[in-house]
Amino acid sequence: MIAGFGGQGILVAGQLLSYGAIIEGRNVTFWPAYGAETRGGTVHCTVTLSDEEIGSPIVPNPDAAIIMNRPSLDRYEPQLKSGGLLVYNSSMIDRQPQRQDLHLLSVPATEQASEMGSLLVATLVAVGAYLAAAKVLNPASVKSALRKVIPEGRHHLLGMNEQALDRGIAIY
């Protein structure tokens, strides 16, 4: 699960992981959900990756979550499967996760993105950290997927997006 505010690139991150899985020949479902507001409202998506056939895109208790803001942490932390991985944006979350049965990875994603000169890549920093910690996809596959997810008119930003993924990988 990936969750945060609209405008943080939550759905783009989900699409990126999905295309990365397709590049690796894996089965995948992508299930986006967002409120009426595009920017500023809550947004989350669920990505299911499997070597087997996937029966349903609905995942009540995900194995992992990338959480980009406090309201999303409050809402989705309780839903994670025991022993799951919680990657959270410590730049925007003012409390520690409360569950003791999760693997926690604090990522100052917004701070890292600010240092790069664009807050728009904060979620990709968190995705990079997730890739390094979870080892569910090869980061090279996800970088290749950038060309499919980012509109052609913005391909001049591919380098910055790859750098954001690399920053996240280096954090882990």
* Angle at 24 (CA atoms; ends 79, 65), nearest 5 degrees: 15
What are 25's strand-pairing partners? none
Which pLDDT belongs to residue 35?
67
Q: Tell me which amino acid residue 33 is.
A: A
What is the rounded CA–CA span in Å between residue 83 and residue 88? Answer: 15
Q: What does the mean pLDDT of the chain come to?
A: 94
Per-residue pLDDT at 42: 82
Residues belonging to the chain: 172
* pLDDT tens readout for residues 50-99: 999 999 989 999 999 999 999 999 999 999 999 999 999 999 999 999 99
Residue 58: CB atoms within 10 A of its CB come to 9
The SS3 call for residue 93 is: coil
Find, among 172, 103, 169, the residue nearest to 139 by Cα.
Answer: 169
Q: What is the largest CA-CA distance in the chain?
A: 44
User: In the prediction, which pLDDT does 126 show?
Assistant: 98
Residue 34's pLDDT is what?
74
Q: What is the pLDDT of residue 39?
A: 59
pLDDT in tens, 6-60: 889 999 999 999 999 999 999 999 999 876 655 567 899 999 999 999 999 899 9
**Could you give the percent of the chain with pLDDT greater than 70?**
97
Residue-range domains of the chain with CATH:
2-171 (3.40.920.10)
If residue 27 lies in a helix (H) or strand (E), which one and from where to where? strand 27-34
Comparing C-alpha atoms, which of 4, 168, 124 is closest to residue 73? 4
pLDDT value of residue 31: 95
Per-residue pLDDT at 36: 61
Beta-strand ranges (E) seen in 35-76 are: 42-50, 64-67
By C-alpha distance, which of 96, 157, 166 is closest to 126? 166
Q: Residue 41: its pLDDT value, please?
A: 75
Per-residue burial over 118-134, b if 16 or more Cβ lie within 10 Å, else e, is ebbbbbbbbbbbbbbbb
* Residues 105-162: tens digit of each pLDDT: 999 999 999 999 999 999 999 999 999 999 999 999 999 999 999 999 999 999 999 9
